[in-house]
Amino acid sequence: MVLCDRQEANMSGPILVLDAEGTPLMPMAPALARKLTQRGKARFVSHHAFTVLQLPHTVACPALRPITAFITQRPAAAEIILIADGARRSHRLLHIIVDLHTDMVRRLRRRAGHRRRRRARQRYHADRRQGIPFKRRSPAIARSVWRKAHARRQALPHRKPIFSPLIRWRAAALMRVLQALMRLIPISHITLCDAPIAERPAKLARTHAARRTQLEMAYAAEEADHRLRCHYCGTTRGPLQIEHITPQSRGGTDAWQNLVLACAACNQRKGGRTAAEMGHTIQTIRAPAANRTHRTQIHQHLTVRELARQLRPLFPATLRISSSLRVFSDADTDALTARYIAVPVARSRKQTFSSRNYPLSTPMPSRQFVRHKQTIKRRMRVNTALLLPHTASRTRAEVLQAAHAHHGGQQRRVSIGMLCRATRNGEELRGIVSAIHSTGRLTVKLPVWERQGAISWNRTTITSLQSLQILSRERVLFLRDDR
Distances (CA, A) of 433 to 142, 273, 414, 421, 481: 57, 67, 8, 10, 19
d(CA 178, CA 198): 29
166: helix, strand or coil: helix
pLDDT over 70 (residue 88): yes
d(CA 448, CA 456): 5
pLDDT over 60 (residue 363): yes
Number of C-beta neighbours around residue 98 at 10 A? 24
**For 184-196, what is the mean pLDDT?**
89
pLDDT over 60 (residue 242): yes
Q: In the structure, what pLDDT confidence band is assigned to residue 184 with cuts at 50, 70 and 90?
A: very high
Poorest-pLDDT segment among 406-420, 435-449, 461-475: 406-420
Distances (CA, A) of 222 to 251, 283, 286: 28, 12, 11
More confident residue, 98 or 355: 98
The CA-CA-CA angle for residues 25, 27, 32, to 5°, reads 115
119: helix, strand or coil: helix
Q: What is the pLDDT of residues 130-140, one digit of tens each?
A: 445 445 555 55
d(CA 410, CA 394): 12
pLDDT over 90 (residue 68): yes
**Mind listing the domains of the chain with CATH numbers?**
1-63 (no CATH), 67-102+167-197+294-344 (3.30.420.10), 208-270 (1.10.30.50), 381-480 (2.30.30)
d(CA 420, CA 184): 22
User: With contact defined as beta carbons under 8 Å apart, do 161 and 457 qualify?
Assistant: no
pLDDT of residue 10: 55
pLDDT of residue 87: 76
* Mean of the per-residue pLDDT values of the chain: 78
Claim: this prediction has a pTM higher than 0.85: no
165: helix, strand or coil: helix
Q: What is the pLDDT of residues 286-345, one digit of tens each?
A: 665 555 555 667 778 889 999 999 999 999 999 999 876 554 444 444 544 678 899 998
Largest CA distance in the chain: 97
d(CA 169, CA 191): 20
User: With contact defined as beta carbons under 8 Å apart, do 227 and 236 qualify?
Assistant: yes
d(CA 417, CA 473): 8
For helices 104-120 and 165-182, the axis angle rounded to 10 degrees is 150
d(CA 323, CA 58): 40
pLDDT of residue 314: 93
Burial 177-194 (b: 16+ CB within 10 A, else e): bbebbeebbbbebbbbbb
For helices 165-182 and 292-311, the axis angle rounded to 10 degrees is 50
The CA-CA-CA angle for residues 72, 76, 81, to 5°, reads 30
Entry field: residues in the chain: 483
- What are the strands, taking DSSP E only, across 86-143? 90-99
pLDDT of residue 67: 93
pLDDT of residue 247: 87
In angstroms, what is the C-alpha Rg of the chain? 31
**For 103-129, what is the mean pLDDT?**
67
More confident residue, 325 or 257: 257
pLDDT of residue 54: 93
pLDDT of residue 332: 45
Phi-psi region at 271: left, alpha or beta (left = phi > 0; alpha = psi -120 to 50): left
Of 3, 170, 176, 27, whose CA–CA distance to 101 is shortest? 170
User: With contact defined as beta carbons under 8 Å apart, do 339 and 480 qualify?
Assistant: yes
